[in-house]
Amino acid sequence: MKKINIVLFEPEIAANVGAIMRTCALTDAKLHLIEPFGFVFDKRNFARSSANNFEGCEYFKYDDWEDFSQQNPQALLFCLTRYGKKPISSFDFTKIDQEIFLMFGKESTGIPKQILQANQEHCFRIPMVATGRSLNIANSVGIATYEVLRQWDYPSLSLVEVEKGEDYLDN
């Protein structure tokens, strides 16, 4: 089965990582975290922003970019950058038969230029007003993840309310 992998390059804000952990847990995506971090990696730093989905998130930590690259040599990277020239919706993820890695850079500076240049054909941006610099990284992860899932028709995700029942509004 196809899988989405979210890659965070040197994240700086624990609350953003917590929110992204929540998105990963609820979309069955794997999370890859490349150090160094701008915070102490501790469950307490993620509890509120992850809505306690810390345990439900499958995550991997890497010492640096080199460590990530060595452990994921076949990773097909799609990089979010304000320098991207097309939206993520312009990629046809239904035609890709391997795991997809959506990469997001650190909040202050993004993904390093050399990584973007090496993956230039897979760089994307989220359209916004011309004077805008960037969206919050957690929002960006959600937008990109759900675009891929939309194209895949939401595999293994529930399309109806389960806890209160899919007919909740009818009663």
Annotated binding residues for S-adenosyl-L-methionine, written as ranges, equal 80, 105, 126, 134
Enumerate the known binding-site residues: 80, 105, 126, 134
User: What end-to-end distance do the CA atoms of the chain give, in Å?
Assistant: 37
Rounded to an integer, what distance in angstroms lies between the CA atom of residue 58 and that of residue 10? 18
**Which residues sit opposite 104 in a β-bridge?**
8
| Inter-residue contact 101 to 72 (CB < 8 Å) | yes
Question: For 10, left (φ over 0), alpha (ψ -120 to 50), or beta?
Answer: left
Q: What phi, psi does 22 have (nearest 5°)?
A: -65, -45
